[in-house]
Amino acid sequence: MKINLLLLSLVYSTICSSQILTINVAENKFGIDEIHSIIISRIQNINDYSDISNYNEVVINLGQNNYSFISIPNSLEYTNSYLVEDTNSSIQYTLYFTQLPIVLINTDNTIVDEPKVLANLVYNDDEQTVSSNIGIELRGGSSQSYPKKTYDIEFWEDETGDENRDVQFGELREDDDWILDALYNEPLRIRSYTANKLWKQMYAPYHIEDEPNAKSGADVMYVEMFLNGQYNGIYNLSEQVDRKQLKLKKFNGNMRGELYKGYSWGASTFTSLPSYNNSNRVWSGYEFEYPDEDEITDWNNLYQFTDFVMNSSESDFATNIWSEFVEDNFIDYFLFLNLIRATDNTGKNIYLGKYKVNEPYFYVPWDLDGCFGTIWNGTNENITNDILTNGFMSRVINENPSNTFANIANKWFDYRNYIFSTVSLSNSITQQYIFLQDNKIYERESLVYSNYSFDYQSLTYTQNWIENRLEYLDAYFEAVLSVNSITTSNKYRIYPNPVTYRVHIDSKEGTNGKNYKIYNITGQQVSSGVIEDELIYVERLDKGIYFIIIDDKSFKLIKN
């Protein structure tokens, strides 16, 4: 009996000592890069593998091939990488598990700027697997020269693109047209993601009551992408900004909803007003996005609006501007633009839309990679003490219709209590950095792209930039409110007002020899001196509204 028990014990020990854990991963839930010897895989219920140290061998089955772990890990985690060996070829790979969706694209065609070419795309996340024909083309300008490309993709029912197919990913909208944004020129791969999410937090379309499904801008989500078997890294899968997303009214034989994309400088920045040609879908920095080309091309509405902004009288501008443009949208976009200091988004990288005829225009941002202390090519630009504007914004600042600039300043301090708080902004950046760092996404990005180190110093730079930017904008908008709270004095009679060259000051006490200071409407001192011959010369000032301070008393001046 004792001998039998001993034999059973030896058999059990032998079985236990040779336990093999086999992990099966379904087709299309992984990508293998043979060039860089990288495997990236999704895995179901990774917490089930929190303790696998007792196994004698661990094998992962990916499709038709088995890969054996070189050393047995204690657990499987997203935050680790693992060395595995193909059991057939003995080739070794670095294996990563990912929480992000995986996108696999394969095509026999050369992907070009235009037109879209046929490819196959497979998308996989926890909830769904989507497999479809797509049309794919390169997107962007200078970014097309980067080794990591941005793509415009369109889902097709067939191989010719004659019939499109709507798909939905995560919490993004259902549509047939998508962008895979490469983020190559983003040092941390988080600026565009954060900025897009921030804009959606800030602004809801003004026509949301009429169109409950309208969006204020493109929403994004992270994915990891393979193209023809090669790992391309992390991407933003992004919605398109178009009529359907904004819920603009459809063309019905007449212009109703309108959408224009700013791609360069000109009328888009309200600095130029050339004549237009309705046989051309491009005009002075704009591309005509909607209505479609086969429906109508008519630049007249946009031309008339641009002309109004640039050339209307001061009284006409003050009376009518906020019936021509959505004031809340202007305020939020001005604050958003300057908070993140998106230098390419004052006219370029901006959409101008209209919900329907006789309604005001509004702004929609796009392509938000150059912000939070970097510019379009990914270079750090550590400037925090300036204000970004275009011709439209400058006129609003200088003439202050309906006291809009005070409203902007008050809105700034409202936002500072929550989404613009230092903690909120810093956390949104830091949390994304920690996620990408801990999940080794930076590590595998570095294996295929060496342009950035993704180090902690880059995060520190961004955090410091945000703190310095907030400090400057706090002081700037405090000055705006201070200037707008000035009570003008009746002690002086000034003329002419508006003025072009010099101001005459009439006072019973006399002002010769007194010091004066001149402030613009934003609270910045722009001039100072000593009054001589009861005159102050202002010919060097730009057009706008100013306050002259004499003996702690003030009066408002309009410079033509």
Angle of helix 300-311 relative to helix 314-324, nearest 10 degrees, comes to 140
Domain count, the chain: 4
349 and 474 together in one domain: yes
Specify the pLDDT at position 491. Answer: 62
Phi/psi class of residue 432: alpha, beta or left (left: φ > 0; alpha: ψ in -120 to 50)? alpha
317 and 415 together in one domain: yes
130 and 176 together in one domain: yes
330 and 444 together in one domain: yes
Residue 376 lies in a domain: yes
Q: In the listed set 246, 270, 302, which residue is the last one of a domain according to the structure?
A: 246
CA distance 310 to 541: 19
Residues in the chain: 560
Residue 353 lies in a domain: yes
**What are the φ/ψ torsions at residue 170 (nearest 5 degrees)?**
55, -130
Tokens of residue 365, six digits: 């941002």
Residues 6+ apart with CB under 8 A from 292: 251
Q: How far is residue 513 CA from its own chain's centroid? A: 53
Residue 192 lies in a domain: no
Q: In the listed set 447, 467, 484, which residue is the last one of a domain according to the structure?
A: 484
62 and 117 together in one domain: no
Residue 197 lies in a domain: no
Nearest to 19 by CA among 61, 52, 65, 67: 52
Residue 190 lies in a domain: no
Specify the pLDDT at position 5. Answer: 36
Residue 68 lies in a domain: yes
37 and 124 together in one domain: no
Residue 206 lies in a domain: no
Residues 6+ apart with CB under 8 A from 212: none
Nearest to 238 by CA among 188, 291, 288, 200: 200
Angle of helix 327-340 relative to helix 456-484, nearest 10 degrees, comes to 140
521 and 381 together in one domain: no
Q: How far is residue 21 CA from its own chain's centroid? A: 44
Specify the pLDDT at position 547. Answer: 82
92 and 114 together in one domain: no
Q: What is the 3-state secondary structure (H, E, C) of 186-233?
A: CCCCCHHHHHHHHHHHHCCCCCCCCCCCCCCCCCEEEEEEEECCEEEE
Range of the domain at 49: 2-97
Specify the pLDDT at position 18. Answer: 63
375 and 307 together in one domain: yes
Q: In the listed set 484, 510, 534, which residue is the last one of a domain according to the structure?
A: 484
137 and 67 together in one domain: no
Residue 201 lies in a domain: no
Specify the pLDDT at position 3. Answer: 41
DSSP β-ladder status, 92-97 and 38-41: parallel
227 and 255 together in one domain: no
Residues 6+ apart with CB under 8 A from 513: 530, 531, 532
Q: Are 191 and 372 a contacting pair, CB within 8 Å?
A: yes
Domain at 497, CATH number = 2.60.40.10
522 and 426 together in one domain: no
Q: Low-confidence residues of the chain, pLDDT below 50?
A: 1-16, 488
The secondary element (H helix, E strand) that includes residue 258 is strand 258-262
Nearest to 216 by CA among 228, 203, 207, 234: 203
Domain at 319, CATH number = 1.10.1070
The pTM of this model reads: 0.86
